[in-house]
A and B are shown apart, each in its own frame.
Chain A
Amino acid sequence: MKTVFRFVLLAALVALGVWLWFVLFPSPEKAIRQRLAELARTASFSSGESDLARLAAAQKLAGCFSTNVEVDINVPGRVQHTLIGRDEIKQAAFGARSTLSGLKVTFPDINITVAPGKQSATVDLTVEVNIAGEHDSIVQEMNFTLQKTDGKWLITRVETVRTLS
C-alpha cells in the first residue's frame, strides 16, 4: 500500500512538473496565441469607460507592439491608415475609444509560422470587428509579423491582405 501511495505521489509530482514547465516555458506558437488573445481582449471595449481607463487600455494595447512597429491598414471603402511606432498606436486606440461607443475584436482563424530560429514569426489571420450600433461586422484578412524581444513576443508589423484583388 505504501509503495502504491509513493508511486501515485511520484506520478502526480511528475505531472505537476510537466504542467509547470509548459506554463512557464510555453511553445512559441502558444505564446503568440496568448499575445493575440491579449491584443483582441485589450482592443475590445464597451461604453461607459472613464478617460483614465481609456488611457490605461490604450497604453496596454501599445505594449503588445514593438517600439518601431509599422501598421498599414487598407480596407477599401472603410479605412486607409498607416501608423508608425507605439505612440501613434496609443493615440489611435485612445481616439477610437473616445469616439466609438463599443468595439469587439476577434481572431476566428489564426495560422502561425514560426521561423527556424524561433525568434520571429508570421501570422496570417482573419480579424472580425463589430462596432456597437452597426449591423454588419468588418471582416479582414491580415498579416502580422512578430519578434521575440527580451522573452516577449511583440508585433513588429501589421498589414492587410487583399483576399479579393
Chain B
Amino acid sequence: MSARNPVQQLSGRSRSQVPRWLRIVVIGRNPKVTLVRAAVLAVLCILGYKFTLLHIRVEGISMLPTYQDGSAHFVNRVAYLWHEPRRGDVVSIRLAGIHLMYLKRVIGMPGETVAFVNGQVLINGQALDEPYEKLPCGWNLPPEKLGPDEYFVVGDNRSMPSENHTFGKVERNRIVGKAIP
C-alpha cells in the first residue's frame, strides 16, 4: 500500500493532460535549452535596440515623398562607426536627446559651399543631381561655406517656402545614425 503525495499526483495529472505537441510548441523538446535560447534572444534584442537600432516614427511632411508622415522606420546607430556620413544619406539628428530628432538628407559635406538657385542645389558652384527630389522647389539661398566638422542637411520636400522648412548646417556630433528606409 502506498500513499502518494497529493502535489505529485496533481503535477503528474496536469502534465499528462497537456498534449505533447503543445508542450513542444510552448517550451520546446528541452526546456533548459529553450530557456537559454530565450535569454540569449532577450539580451540580443536589448543590445540591438539600445545600441544599434533605434525605432522611429516620422512626423510631418518634410521628407516626402521618401518618408511618409506617420511611417515607422529604424535608425542604424552604428552606421558611422567606420565611415563618416555620405552625401545622399538620410540621417537622424538629435536635439537635446534622442526621443525627438530631425530626419534629414545630407547634401553638403564638410568644407564645401552650398547654395540654392531656383531650387537647384549647387555644391561648390556645381549642380547636384538629386534623384530623390520629386517635388517642385524654387528656393534661392546664398552660398554657405561649411566648417570642417559641419554637414548641410535638408528635407526632400522643398515644395514649401524655405522659411517653413527646418534645414541648414549641423555639427557631426549631432548626427545619431543613418535611417533605414
User: A-side interface residues toward B, CB under 8 Å?
Assistant: 76-77, 108-111, 124-126, 128, 136-137, 139-142, 161-165
Total A-B contacts with CB atoms under 8 angstroms apart: 56
Bound CA–CA A125/B93 (angstroms): 14
B102 close to chain A: CB less than 8 A: yes
The residue on A at minimum CB distance from B164 is: A77
Knowing A164-B153, A164-B167, the reply to whether A111 touches B97 (Cβ < 8 A) is yes
B residues in contact with A165, CB < 8 Å: 168-170
User: B-side interface residues toward A, CB under 8 Å?
Assistant: 59-61, 93, 95-100, 102, 104, 153, 161, 163-170, 174
Looking at chain B's contact residues, the main secondary structure is loop
B residues in contact with A139, CB < 8 Å: 95, 100
B97 with A109: CB separation less than 8 A:
yes
Interchain nearest-CB distance for B150 vs A (Å): 9
Bound CA–CA A163/B97 (angstroms): 12
Interchain nearest-CB distance for B101 vs A (Å): 9
- Looking at the complex, which one of A76, A77, A109, A164 makes contact with B96 (CB distance below 8 Å)? A109
B163 with A126: CB separation less than 8 A:
no
Interchain nearest-CB distance for A109 vs B (Å): 3
Bound CA–CA A137/B69 (angstroms): 12
The residue on B at minimum CB distance from A125 is: B96
A residues in contact with B166, CB < 8 Å: 76, 164
Bound CA–CA A86/B91 (angstroms): 40
Bound CA–CA A153/B26 (angstroms): 54
B residues in contact with A141, CB < 8 Å: 95-96
A residues in contact with B168, CB < 8 Å: 162, 164-165
Bound CA–CA A142/B100 (angstroms): 13
B163 with A136: CB separation less than 8 A:
no
The residue on B at minimum CB distance from A162 is: B168
Bound CA–CA A109/B174 (angstroms): 14
Interchain nearest-CB distance for B115 vs A (Å): 16
A residues in contact with B153, CB < 8 Å: 164
Interchain nearest-CB distance for A161 vs B (Å): 8
Interface centre among B104, B153, B166, B168 (most CB of A within 10 A): B166
Knowing A77-B164, A126-B100, A163-B102, the reply to whether A109 touches B169 (Cβ < 8 A) is no
- Looking at the complex, which one of A77, A110, A125, A163 makes contact with B163 (CB distance below 8 Å)? A77
A136 with B164: CB separation less than 8 A:
no
Question: Can you sample 11 A-B contacts with CB below 8 Å?
Answer: A109-B95, A110-B97, A111-B96, A139-B95, A141-B95, A142-B96, A164-B104, A164-B169, A165-B168, A165-B169, A165-B170
A109 with B98: CB separation less than 8 A:
yes
A164 with B170: CB separation less than 8 A:
yes
B residues in contact with A164, CB < 8 Å: 93, 102, 104, 153, 166-170
